[in-house]
Amino acid sequence: MNKFERSSGILLHITSLPGRFGVGSLGREAYSFIDWLIVAKQSLWQILPLGHTGYGDSPYQCYSAFAGNPVLIDIDLLIEQGWLSEDDVPDFLPFNDSEVEFGRVNELKWKLVKLAASRFAEHASLAQKASFERFKEANCAWLDDYSFYAAVKHSFDEKPWWEWDYNIRMREHNAVFEYKNRLESQIEMFSILQYFFFSQWYDLKAYANKNGIKIVGDIPLYIAHDSSDAWCRPEIFMFDENRNPSKVAGVPPDYFSETGQLWGNPLYNWDYLKQTGFKWWIDRVKANFNLFDVLRIDHFRGLAAFWAIPFGEPTAVNGVWLSAPGKDLLDAIKAEMGAIPLIAEDLGVITPDVEELRDSNMLPGMKILQFAFDSNEGNNFLPHLYPHNSVVYTGTHDNDTVIGWFEAASENDKRFVQEYFNADLNDISWSMIKLAWSSVSNIAIAPLQDILSLGSESRMNLPGKPSGYWRWRYKKEALNFDQALRLARITKIYNR
């Protein structure tokens, strides 16, 4: 849809930043990372979805397709603004500095951000209240539903919406009216938290853009079953009359899993979406381009055909392929928004219809260097076969780190690595970074773990595992300007 210039960048999620509150945030350390990117001559910072995460802490399973994650709100910025004081913060913050302990982090940060929201509600100036009201008005299409959902969910001890009382689960008119009255202050609190989040995010993005760095966002194809979207907009999903999914999302057995991946997300009612001109999808893409400069469509192949698994199946094996109107959707987005910079995550089972959808829209696909040297895979991931219109990665958040991958590789694969590009096997991470940067792909990206030459212990995710991942953080002292200057040199050599 939009041609990309030759460029490069780093993949690092916000949660992986250092910071005293046990998880990365939108504050000082995020600005420091941008400063590092500037020295390293990078022009892209790719992140994972920013949504309000639920059970399992996956950024791909969020309570809203639109809302930001309140846990990413920076506490120190709230202190600077006067909504919190240092006295509100415990004297001792016993958090691990190399991984996110989500349970303890959530407990403390939610307590603090809710306290800040209550003070805002009580003490905001007229100008601050006016700014908040403008935010609510501009985002009412999703914010009202999300804040109401989050407040009701909290009143039911965070249970998923299908376990709520029948009248509110089914959104009966009288129940909606009653709960909105009863939970008015809670609803307002969740809206204030979104105001905090988006205010901090837009400031951070402006700083990146001012310094020549574009943010690459990530839009999951599907939304979580337990989400405000599924509860408030059941007509856009494959639900039965009791609002239970008839079929759910996943992928068949592949490189990552012998039994496939059972994601459990509700599938779209594409017929309804098409009848409405794909309005919900267009609104979602517009919202994402308010947040990001470039957008990666996760599981792009699901826009051509998707793996539909009967609800209740224990694995993803017994699914069927169903077609999706991806061409019509992308045409509708293009008609509304023009040429926008999209990246297609085209990994997994890729068939000619997926390639046609990608190529007819001139979208760059993804090339993973680790796959290039896997004797069990075809060789279309080798750099000499890349098209210019592609994005090369040393690995993604779903892969092992380069060092972890190389240590587990067969002797044949290791020999092929050395033969193919004379790699320095004692510095394999940087050898692979150099190979990616030297390729003809218009965009080259490396996870920060590979810049830091880290092993499998620093892996971000293992697909198919429901919990225990998404925790990795880098230690502040691990990232230095020597690495930035080394990357800057490689970037200059290969004209990125």
Q: Residues with catalytic annotation? A: 298, 345, 398
The residue written with tokens 């919202």 in the block is: 287
How far is the C-alpha of 428 from the C-alpha of 453, rounded, in Å? 8
How far is the C-alpha of 117 from the C-alpha of 136, rounded, in Å? 15
Judge residue 350's burial from the number of C-beta atoms within 10 Å of its C-beta, 0-12 exposed, 13-18 middle, 19 or more buried: middle
Token digits of residue 484: 């930035």
To the nearest 10 degrees (0 to 180), the angle between helices 126-138 and 140-155 is 100
The residue written with tokens 């309804």 in the block is: 272
Instruction: Answer for the pair 51, 14: CB distance below 8 angstroms, yes or no.
Output: no
How far is the C-alpha of 129 from the C-alpha of 237, rounded, in Å? 36
SS3 of the chain: CCCCCCEEEEECCHHHCCCCCCCCCCCHHHHHHHHHHHHCCCCEEECCCCECECCCCCCCCECCCCCECHHHCCHHHHHHCCCCCHHHCCCCCCCCCCECCHHHHHHHHHHHHHHHHHHHHHHCCHHHHHHHHHHHHHCHHHHHHHHHHHHHHHHCCCCCHHHCCHHHHCCCHHHHHHHHHHCHHHHHHHHHHHHHHHHHHHHHHHHHHHCCCEEEEEECCCCCCCCHHHHHCHHHECECCCCCECEEEEECCCCCCCCCEEEEEECECHHHHHHCCCHHHHHHHHHHHHHCCEEEECCHHHHCEEEEEECCCCCCCCCEEEECCHHHHHHHHHHHHCCCCEEECCCCCCCHHHHHHHHHCCCCEEEEHHHHCCCCCCCCCCHHHCCCCEEEECCCCCCCCHHHHHHHCCHHHHHHHHHHHCCCHHHHHHHHHHHHHHCCCCEEEEEHHHHCCCCHHHCCCCCCCCCCCCCECCCHHHCCHHHHHHHHHHHHHCCC
How wide is the angle at C-alpha 90 spanned by C-alphas 94 and 156, nearest 5°?
Answer: 90
